């Protein structure tokens, strides 16, 4: 599909509140056929998500340790997480220590997921991901581990305010780029 048609299809699914604010842009290199173009998403004419540029407006992590040490990331811990730690331990552990261990494990798991998602996004083909998004059900894109599919689904008009509010806990465990677009959509709904 040609870029202009793909862009038109993507913009037709934008939430009415985001029309004119969110823009999909693509550049290509006509004389360098082996050089891939750059695709990015701009909000209010500011480049917010450029898959190949680490200097964009959203924080990109270089190591798992950066994620583990980021105090802004708050992940919910369930009773099942604490019970899993309790079962794995050989002796009695104080309840507050169980929570610390469970939180540490959850944050490590989250860090690995974020690093894997970032690696996949930097190698991703925007056009292929956008085509997949357009042909898949919205629920599949919302539940996907692909950052780009999540973002495209969050700015979609088919996702209402009630569904957005029900996703609040899930969004805490997503990449900062996904969280940015989630917050943008909440503010505009």
Does the pLDDT at position 108 exceed 70?
Answer: yes
Better-predicted residue by pLDDT, 117 or 79: 79
Average pLDDT, the chain: 82
Residue 43 C-alpha from the chain's centroid = 16
Number of domains in the chain: 2
One domain for residues 120 and 180: yes
**Average pLDDT of the segment spanning 69-91:** 85
Same domain, 27 and 97: no
Let me know whether 105 and 128 are in one domain. Answer: no
| Residue 181: band (very low, low, confident or very high) from pLDDT cuts 50, 70, 90 | very high
Among residues 164, 170, 166, the alpha carbon closest in space to that of 184 is found at 164
CA–CA separation, 111 vs 12, rounded Å? 34
State whether 18 and 57 are in the same domain. Answer: yes
pLDDT value at residue 63: 75
Do 53 and 129 sit in the same domain of this protein?
Answer: yes
Same domain, 169 and 127: yes
Cα distance between residue 175 and residue 118, in whole Å: 8
Query: What average pLDDT does this structure show over 52-68?
Result: 65
Phi then psi dihedrals of residue 168, to 5 deg: -55, -45
Q: What pLDDT was estimated at residue 154? A: 95
* One domain, residues 121 and 111: no
Say yes or no to pLDDT of 183 above 90: yes
Q: Are 109 and 157 contained in the same domain?
A: no
Residues 110 and 53 in one domain: no
Residue 63, token pair as written in the block? 């190591």
Q: How far apart are CA 36 and CA 29, in angstroms?
A: 7
pLDDT at 124: 56
Range(s) of the domain holding residue 168: 3-62+116-188
Section 116-129 average pLDDT: 68
Confidence of residue 142 (pLDDT cuts 50, 70, 90): very high
* Last residue of one domain, picked from the residues 98, 115, 132: 115
* 21 and 78 both lie in a single domain: no
Q: Which of 81, 99, 115 is the last residue of a domain?
A: 115
Q: What is the pTM of this model?
A: 0.68
Mark which of 75, 95, 115 sits at the end of a domain: 115
What confidence tier does 162 reach under pLDDT thresholds 50, 70, 90? Answer: very high
- 177 and 96 part of one domain: no
- Residue 167, pLDDT above cutoff 80: yes
- State whether 181 and 123 are in the same domain: yes
Confidence class of residue 66 from pLDDT cuts 50, 70 and 90? confident
């Amino acid at each position: 599909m040609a870029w202009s048609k793909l862009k038109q299809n993507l913009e037709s699914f934008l939430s009415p509140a985001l029309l004119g604010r969110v823009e999909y842009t693509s550049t290509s290199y006509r004389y360098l056929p082996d050089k891939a173009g750059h695709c990015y998403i701009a909000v209010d004419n500011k480049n917010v998500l450029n898959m190949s540029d680490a200097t964009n407006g959203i924080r990109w992590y270089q190591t798992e340790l950066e994620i583990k040490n980021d105090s802004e990331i708050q992940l919910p811990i369930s009773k099942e997480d604490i019970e899993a730690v309790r079962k794995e331990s050989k002796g009695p552990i104080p309840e507050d220590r169980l929570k610390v261990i469970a939180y540490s494990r959850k944050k490590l798991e989250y860090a690995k997921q974020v690093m894997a998602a970032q690696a996949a996004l930097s190698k991703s083909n925007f056009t292929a991901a956008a085509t997949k998004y357009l042909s898949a059900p919205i629920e599949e894109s919302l539940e996907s581990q692909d950052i780009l599919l999540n973002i495209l689904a969050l700015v979609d008009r088919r996702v209402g305010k009630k569904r957005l509010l029900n996703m609040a806990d899930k969004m805490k465990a997503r990449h900062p780029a996904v969280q940015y677009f989630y917050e943008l959509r909440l503010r505009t709904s």
